[in-house]
Chains A and B, each alone.
Chain A
Amino acid sequence: GAVVSQHPSRVICKSGTSVKIECRSLDFQATTMFWYRQFPKQSLMLMATSNEGSKATYEQGVEKDKFLINHASLTLSTLTVTSAHPEDSSFYICSARGLLGGTDTQYFGPGTRLTVL
């Protein structure tokens, strides 16, 4: 099956610092990757859609200058949380769109738990 990795799996940082999260599709090329955020006991909320070689499309209410997304290759997308604050503490999950076994669907990474002190 499709494998999507995220790094780091867990990060703790001080308020005001920036944090970069990597999302990689390991065994397939992903023209589209998605970034989600999940707060405790809530469902996944789509933050942005990232297409290789073009600017990301952000969902309403998500600040593009705060959550910088770069999709430089078909296997790598990065999310940088700039000037992180405690309210940015959350579980960040990426997914990659792939066509495997004739099925076009999204495959999720294991997630990155961000804690901002």
Chain B
Amino acid sequence: QKEVEQNSGPLSVPEGAIASLNCTYSDRGSQSFFWYRQYSGKSPELIMSIYSNGDKEDGRFTAQLNKASQYVSLLIRDSQPSDSATYLCAVARNAGNMLTFGGGTRLMVKP
């Protein structure tokens, strides 16, 4: 079992829809959770970090964390074609420490 699992996709949504990206992790000691966006040929860009159970909203992005279920998700509202990228879920025992990445989910937003 991989430490951090994501559906590789591609996840295809129409423009303006909500994209839902999911991630599960195996280490119950994990305390810090991150979502990165990576465009093809580029390095990852931090979108959201979340440390506590519940929802955290930032603009069109909402991260959701459920430590009991070992589940973290990212919702993208009003999806735009420019959101088309690979989204990487990353988990760490402590903020700033070694990150373990999932395989990424490729999102395609169609005009």
A residues near B, CB below 8 A? 32, 34, 42-44, 46, 49, 91, 93, 95, 97-99, 103-111, 113
A84 to B43, CA, bound (A): 22
Looking at B52-60, B70-78, B98-106, the stretch in contact with chain A turns out to be B98-106
Is the pair A44, B88 in contact by a Cβ cutoff of 8 Å? yes
Is the pair A43, B95 in contact by a Cβ cutoff of 8 Å? no
A99 to B95, CA, bound (A): 10
Is the pair A32, B96 in contact by a Cβ cutoff of 8 Å? yes
Is the pair A105, B101 in contact by a Cβ cutoff of 8 Å? no
Contact-size category for B: 20 to 34
Is the pair A104, B96 in contact by a Cβ cutoff of 8 Å? yes
Q: Does B22 contact A (CB under 8 A)?
A: no
Interface residue from B43, B88, B97, B103 paired with A110 (Cβ < 8 Å): B43
Interface residue from A43, A44, A99, A110 paired with B96 (Cβ < 8 Å): A99
A103 to B103, CA, bound (A): 25
Contacts of B32 in A (CB 8 A): 105
Q: Does B49 contact A (CB under 8 A)?
A: yes
Is the pair A108, B44 in contact by a Cβ cutoff of 8 Å? yes
With A43-B104, A110-B42: A105-B98 Cβ-Cβ less than 8 Å: no
Is the pair B42, A46 in contact by a Cβ cutoff of 8 Å? no
Contacts of B99 in A (CB 8 A): 34, 46, 95, 106
Contacts of A113 in B (CB 8 A): 41
- The 3 A-B residue pairs whose C-beta atoms are closest, nearest first, are A104-B96, A111-B43, A104-B95
